[in-house]
Amino acid sequence: MVATTPRSTVTPTATTKRRRRGRLRLLSRRDKFVVAAMLGIPLLLDAAFIWFPALASIGLSFTKWTGVGGVHLTSCANLPSVPGIPQAGCLYGVQNYKQAFTNYPPFWPAVQHNATWLLVFIVLATPLGMLFAVILDRGIRGSRIYQSILFLPVMLSLALIGIIWELIYSPNYGLINTIIGRNGNNNLIDWLGDPHLNLWALLVEATWRQAGYVMVLYLAGLKSVDPALREAATVDGASSWQTFWRVVFPAMRPINIVVLVVTVIESLRAFDLVYITTKGNIARGLELLSISVTQNIVGETQRIGFGSTLGVILLVISLVPISIFLYQAFRRENR
């Protein structure tokens, strides 16, 4: 009788394990072939076109390569270089990193601008989107129309957003300068050209889109909060402010993480708006890591090693939010 207690807890796991293994054994030969294809083809695509390049960028970041003549596994110092003939790829040590940090003028401005981008998303776009969601979730009159309008920019491409906002910011004819009376040739404000203003002008555009995105995520989050929690808080005499911050907001933890991850990743990915506004060039005031990366492959001289180095720096930064998300999403299954 004493032994029954441990046995009864052990037996179910044993049977499920046996059944699981059984399920695999039940597969016919044809089924096994089908399973291999169903797993293999997506896996091959993901491995070849996402993870192989991601890992290759780490390797290439330690090389110097103009894209001509393959990569040799010898140090650049030992490789003969003939003037006029581009040197083949060679091992360059940490020189690219050194150069990025000390001898590449757009680098630190780019880091600063990416950080500003993130900061504006965190202090402006995200709270605004959350506020919209909270208001709409209360079901005020016109909620549906408000939601549709605030959501509209999320559907538009960033290229389109960049183009239509140029009309708002246009120095001579634009909406803002006309309204504030700065559209004369002697007192123009060049919102998109002035290095002190252009980042902020683009961040308004980006916020215009991001807030709607965050709003939709939080609308889903608010719906998933058990109404009983709120009612209990109200019964206990909590104000609606307290109820939200002490009860509802913590209960939305999964969504908060998703929003955080989306916010960080989107500010690292920021590219399209700047590209459209600067016509693909590096413009003072609008340096971003993403723009610097592509400058190294679309220009006249390819700098594969250096471009990869900037990519790896982006990778290292983005691994932080990615890990947070993966931990949150998969820890339940791992238990």
Partner 1 sequence: MTATTELPAPFADARPRPIGPRRKRGVRAGGAITQVFMIVMVVLWLTPIVFALYVALRPEAETNKLGYVSLPHHLTLSNFANAWTQSQMWHFFLNSVYITVPAVVITLLLASAFAYVVSRLSFRFNIPLLILFTAGNLLPQQVIITPLYRLYLSIHLPTGLTGSGLLYNSILGLIVINTSFQLGFCVFVLSNYMKTIPTDMDEAAVVDGATLWTRYWRLTLPLCRPALAALATLLTTWIYNDFFWAITLISTGSKRPITSALANLQGQFVQNQNMIAAAALLAAIPTLIVYAVLQRQFIAGLALGSSKG
Q: What is the DSSP string of 59-111?
A: HHTTEE--SSS-EEEEEGGGS---TTSPPPEEE-TTHHHHHHHHS-TTHHHHH
| CA distance linking residue 327 with residue 319, whole number of Å | 12
| CA distance linking residue 314 with residue 293, whole number of Å | 9
| CA distance linking residue 209 with residue 162, whole number of Å | 11
Binding-site size, partner 1 (CB under 8 A): 119
Q: Which stretch binds partner 1 (CB under 8 A): 90-98, 103-111, 185-193, 252-260?
A: 252-260
Q: Does 283 bind partner 1 (CB under 8 A)?
A: no
DSSP 252: T
Would you give the binding string for partner 1 spanning residues 49-88, x where CB under 8 A is met? xxxxxx-xx--x------x---------------------
Among 86, 95, 97, 166, indicate the residue that binds partner 1 (CB under 8 A).
166
251 contact partners, CB below 8 Å, separation of at least 6: 225, 226, 229
Residues 185-204 that bind partner 1 (CB under 8 A): none
Would you give the binding string for partner 1 spanning residues 86-115, x where CB under 8 A is met? ------------------------------
Among 11, 148, 187, 242, indicate the residue that binds partner 1 (CB under 8 A).
148
Residue 136 burial by Cβ neighbours in a 10 Å radius (0-12, 13-18, 19+): buried
Among 11, 74, 75, 178, indicate the residue that binds partner 1 (CB under 8 A).
178
Task: Identify the residue whose tokens are 């004369």.
Answer: 184
Alpha carbon distance, N-terminus to C-terminus of the chain:
31
Report the nearest approach of partner 1 to the CB of residue 102 (Å): 21
Q: Does 271 bind partner 1 (CB under 8 A)?
A: yes
Among 15, 75, 172, 281, indicate the residue that binds partner 1 (CB under 8 A).
172
Would you give the binding string for partner 1 spanning residues 11-40, x where CB under 8 A is met? ---------x--xx-xxx-xx--xx-xxx-
Report the nearest approach of partner 1 to the CB of residue 180 (Å): 11
Report the nearest approach of partner 1 to the CB of residue 43 (Å): 7
Report the nearest approach of partner 1 to the CB of residue 14 (Å): 15
Q: What token pair was written down for 56?
A: 């290759």
